[in-house]
Amino acid sequence: MSILNAIASLAVSDLPAATIWYARLLGKQAASQPMPAVAEWKFDRGGWLQLYQQADGAGGGSVTLAVDDIEALASHLQQVGVAHGALSSTPQVRTIMLTDPDGNHIAFAQALDTSMAR
């Protein structure tokens, strides 16, 4: 068996509102809506972020999104008015953490160590 890719999924309470918020966060519209209760974003190097409507499960998720320039991300977040935690750094990785309106945790990470996933 060979795993070809991965999809990170987050439950949200209001898919239309969450789709607008995530489009602002990610700087692009959803790539697809394969079902009425699902919106998906595809990333350049592979992988997907999927939102799905499930009010009773919303807010319990967590996802890490790899970026190549954490400073550019911080600037983008400021421009679009998305609140976030402080930039933190170790010799291996730089991160910015935030939560979506439902309380799902989102980490943006820039790997500094070439042995880490990019």
Query: Is residue 1 one of the residues assigned to a domain?
Result: no
Query: Is residue 116 one of the residues assigned to a domain?
Result: no
pLDDT score for 3: 80
Q: What is the pTM of this model?
A: 0.92
Q: Average pLDDT of each block of 10 consecutive residues along the chain (118 residues)?
A: 86 98 97 96 93 96 95 96 94 96 97 78
For 57, the domain range is: 7-111
pLDDT score for 117: 64
Query: Is residue 25 one of the residues assigned to a domain?
Result: yes
Contacts (Cβ under 8 Å, ≥6 apart) of 49: 7, 8, 9, 10, 22, 26, 40, 41, 43, 63, 65
At 106, which CATH number?
3.10.180.10
Count how many domains the chain has: 1
